Amino acid sequence: MGTKIVGTGSYVPERVISNEQLELFLETSDEWIQSRTGIKERRISDTEDTSDLCAKAAKQILANAGVDAKEVGFVIVATMSPDYLSPSTASLVQDKIGAHSVMSFDVNAACSGFIYALSIAEKLMQSGSFRYGLVLGGEVMSKIVDWNDRSTAVLFGDGAGGVLLEHTSEESFVLGEDIHADGSRGEALTAGKVAFSERWGPQPATPLDLLQMDGRSIFDFAIRSVPKSIMDLTEKTGTQFEEVECIIAHQANYRILKAIAKKLKVPVELFASNIHKYGNTSAASIPILLDELVAGGELVLGSKKKVILTGFGGGLTWGSMLIQL
């Protein structure tokens, strides 16, 4: 028993925020942002929450695959910016798309979330209990970013993307994976801390904390851990980089992509990128980029081409997957 990807899709809000617009209230500049991150603009939601973005991406995925929502066996959403702590964003998406009563849950592994969710989903599909499974990554980072903090405000954007998996008698699309977490370094990126109180009874509500990030620690973590993860993955699967069509990495910072490519001794062109348009969309960045490549004809579902997916972020979490389309 195996699994294959039969559809991709994505959705980003209409509102575009350029670097020049950030100059109006932050001590920054277009040149400073582009030279350090590769970001030119990002999409920001005005009224749509995470479940709304994910539902629109999901409907596009199903339409592209020609599959009715009633045939979907489960919905998994990777996000660090859910609509609520409860209900899950996946449950809200399930209702919005009409996949009623099916198993639905969220995965929070921050910017590695889509890798984690895809790994879980593939194993659920291997059970043979489902014909189709929907895996989404969606974020409204704009609601948890501190827009007064120049170090983080310039980085993030909103969006959603995902894939539809189908049970098949062929081999699985996942050829290998290498997935990790290190909670001892979790404080390097935090958001939404819910304060603990030792007393019970009526008391003022405590607002959720906004995103805080130690940029230097995250940069160092990424350029150390990600190349090793990719190398371990290629060694475990006996894969040469010449066999890989492209590497779809989490779109955090173009300087990070260049540093990873240098450590791997591969051309940076092997790394697909759209960070200039969307910024860092956390768990949504990998599926949005995957869908753009499929929609643009650069990658073809069913072609058996090999692609490496790699994510890294809060947790700290990181992971890589070798897949064949």
- Assess contact for 79 and 138: CB atoms under 8 A: yes
What does DSSP say about strands 306-313 and 244-249: parallel, antiparallel, or unpaired? parallel
Q: Which of 19, 108, 250, 253 is catalytic?
A: 250
Q: Which two tokens stand for residue 14?
A: 């209409």
Question: Of 111, 167, 246, 253, which one is the catalytic site residue?
Answer: 111
* Cα-to-chain-centroid distance, residue 113: 6
Q: 19 an active-site residue?
A: no
Supply 244's token pair: 């890989």
Encoded tokens for 321: 């997957």
Question: Which residue type does 307 have?
Answer: V
Tokens encoding 275: 């960070």
Torsion of CA 216, 222, 223, 225, to 10 degrees: 130
Longest dimension (CA), the chain: 63
Q: Is 64 designated active site?
A: no
Looking at the chain, the number of H-run helices and the number of E-run strands are 10, 14
Residue 100 falls in the annotated catalytic set? no
Catalytic residues: 111, 250, 280
